[in-house]
Amino acid sequence: MKALKIRYANLPEVLAPERVHKYLDTVAIVPITCFPWEVYPDTVKVNYSVAHNGSALLLKFRVEEEYLTAASVTNGAVHKDSCVEFFVAFGDDDCYYNLEFNCIGWAKIGYGRDRRHRSLLPDDKINEVLSFSTIISGETEGEKRFSWEISLVIPASVFFYNNIVSFMSLKARGNFYKCKGTPPSDHYISWNMVKAPKPDFHRKECFGELEFE
């Protein structure tokens, strides 16, 4: 099981996502390299950087892939798009949050104990998450590729089921993912290895350890 210490950033409580986008390039880059289901392609490259300023979680994903899809809306089938995800459970809570974002910032956020028992957060709560994304197309070794990045400012208030006021010194469990649930080039990638017979990120027993400074 992997473990990650989430760095404290001495930044203002209210942050523009554009500023976070630049700041997170100074934070350690963590690769996402587990391909739990070998039948799916392993040509996608993805990593993330994460920090917090006490009142908000600051998260940036960087992705390079061949195909790009963005067709969903808030609390829609975001996982079918070019999507990055962060699942997290705080303390000893048996329930966890799934935060899913496509390449242009549409989000789906839920909370519950497993895949089948989930409550979606209301739109106004999801809209508290601020995002900034960039998309660049080009050629790599003769093949067209998309390079995209998304930075997220996720206020503690989003995690209202746990009454999170500050991230300082919190213990949590979680995983970071990249997926695209529709062809062509559908794929599923994780930071901590997922053990399941078919694609399923809702495996809290496969979460890694997270420690907030």
* Region 196-201 average pLDDT: 97
Q: How far apart are CA 131 and CA 33, in angstroms?
A: 24
* Residue 136 neighbours by CB distance under 10 Å: 10
| Per-residue pLDDT band at 63 (split at 50, 70, 90) | very high
Per the structure, how many domains does the chain have?
Answer: 1
User: Phi first, then psi: what are they for 184, rounded to 5°?
Assistant: -80, 160
pLDDT at 140 over 90: no
Q: At which residue do the structure tokens 């303390």 appear?
A: 91
| Per-residue pLDDT band at 3 (split at 50, 70, 90) | very high
Report yes or no: 15 and 53 within 8 Å, Cβ to Cβ.
Answer: yes
| Per-residue pLDDT band at 56 (split at 50, 70, 90) | very high
pLDDT at 41 over 90: no
Report yes or no: 88 and 100 within 8 Å, Cβ to Cβ.
Answer: no
Instruction: Select from 203, 189, 213 the least CA-distant residue to 85.
Output: 189
Give residue-wise pLDDT tens across range 94-106: 999 999 999 999 9
How would you classify the pairing of strands 96-102 and 83-90? antiparallel
The reported pLDDT for the residue numbered 142 is 74
Q: How far apart are CA 126 and CA 16, in angstroms?
A: 16
Is the pTM value of this prediction over 0.85?
Answer: yes
The CATH number of residue 96's host domain is: 2.60.40.1190
- CA distances in angstroms from 134 to 18, 60, 63, 171, 213, listed in the order given: 10, 11, 10, 31, 29
- CA distances in angstroms from 64 to 47, 75, 168, listed in the order given: 9, 24, 32
The residue count of the chain comes to 213
Which domain, by its residues, includes 153? 3-212
**Alpha-carbon dihedral 166, 167, 172, 177, rounded to 10 degrees:** 120
| Per-residue pLDDT band at 127 (split at 50, 70, 90) | very high
